[in-house]
A and B are shown apart, each in its own frame.
Chain A
Amino acid sequence: MQEKWTELLHFSLPSQPGMERVAMERAAGALHGLLSDIALERLKTAVAEGTLNAIEHGNHFQEDLPVEVNIWYSPSAVRVNIIDQGGSQMIPESSVPDIDAKLAGLESTRGWGMFLIRNMVDEVRITGDGQRHTLELVSYRESNP
């Protein structure tokens, strides 16, 4: 059966450091009461990390390039789309960070963003149309303990 989605909120932010916190708080305000407290905290982290990726890797901190955030809900899930203007270059799929290698100095201690996102929500999709990247985050409304 086709999921019926209702739009809750749509906003744009400039690509400035710190805007991921604004995205996170605005998403949390819109989604209050639709998820358990635990699921909402997880989704907040995913939204912040997704927005940070869009600002940093998609829009390369160009303040005039917006990051768009669209939030929907359905009877069974909530969905947040985070869209940057990153062009045709796709955001690479990250591998699982190897903390042993990081502690041994064999790789950078950074690189946790996509890993956190994938562990904080139920579904993650990354798509592109040649001009924009869309990161889609879905949290089920009843699956999170």
Chain B
Amino acid sequence: MNGKVLEANVRALPGMACIDLTGEISAQAEDVLNQAYEQAMSTNPGTILLNFNGVEYINSTGIALILNLLVKAGRSHRKLYSYGLNDHYREIFRITRLSDFMRIFSDENAAMAAV
């Protein structure tokens, strides 16, 4: 059985690029996630915003993939923000300390206000 394959849509916002994510972030999501990140980078944004509203499941490999994006963002001196995480995944981002390095907002407007 395969779960819902991750889909990603990139759109431009003032000062940032937003990646809308839908589906599951697991090993099968690696190519989609990386391609979306590269597409977002092509507009040379100062900040990349991950929208987790449509994400149903993130596993330990998904945590590693998100961490890879943080590494890439850091190397290019860009910020990686996020919104749309439910309480359970907020807890996981806190436990893993992802949230120490990636600001988590309640919604898109709050993230845009921080840029």
Task: Enumerate chain A interface residues (CB-CB to B < 8 A).
Answer: 16-22, 38, 41-42, 45, 48-49, 52, 97, 99, 102-103, 105, 108-113, 115-116, 119
> Could you tell me the distance in whole angstroms from the C-beta of A141 to the nearest C-beta in chain B?
18
Main secondary structure of the interface of B (DSSP, over half): helix
Q: Write the chain A residue with the least CB distance to B4.
A: A21
Q: Write the chain B residue with the least CB distance to A98.
A: B97
The one of B3, B61, B88 that contacts A42, using a Cβ cutoff of 8 Å: B88
Task: Enumerate chain B interface residues (CB-CB to A < 8 A).
Answer: 1-3, 24, 27-28, 57, 59-61, 63-65, 67-68, 70-71, 74, 87-88, 91-92, 95-98, 100-101
Contact A110 B96 (CB under 8 A): no
The one of B1, B28, B95, B97 that contacts A116, using a Cβ cutoff of 8 Å: B95
Q: What is the total of A-B residue contacts with beta carbons within 8 Å?
A: 68
Residues of chain A lying within 8 A (CB to CB) of residue B92: 45, 116
Q: Write the chain A residue with the least CB distance to B75.
A: A105
Instruction: Give complex CA distance A99, B87 in Å.
Output: 21
> Could you tell me the distance in whole angstroms from the C-beta of A28 to the nearest C-beta in chain B?
12
Instruction: Give complex CA distance A113, B59 in Å.
Output: 8
Given contacts A17-B2, A21-B57, A109 and B95 within 8 Å (CB-CB)? no
Instruction: Give complex CA distance A116, B28 in Å.
Output: 20
Q: Write the chain B residue with the least CB distance to A118.
A: B95
Instruction: Give complex CA distance A52, B100 in Å.
Output: 27
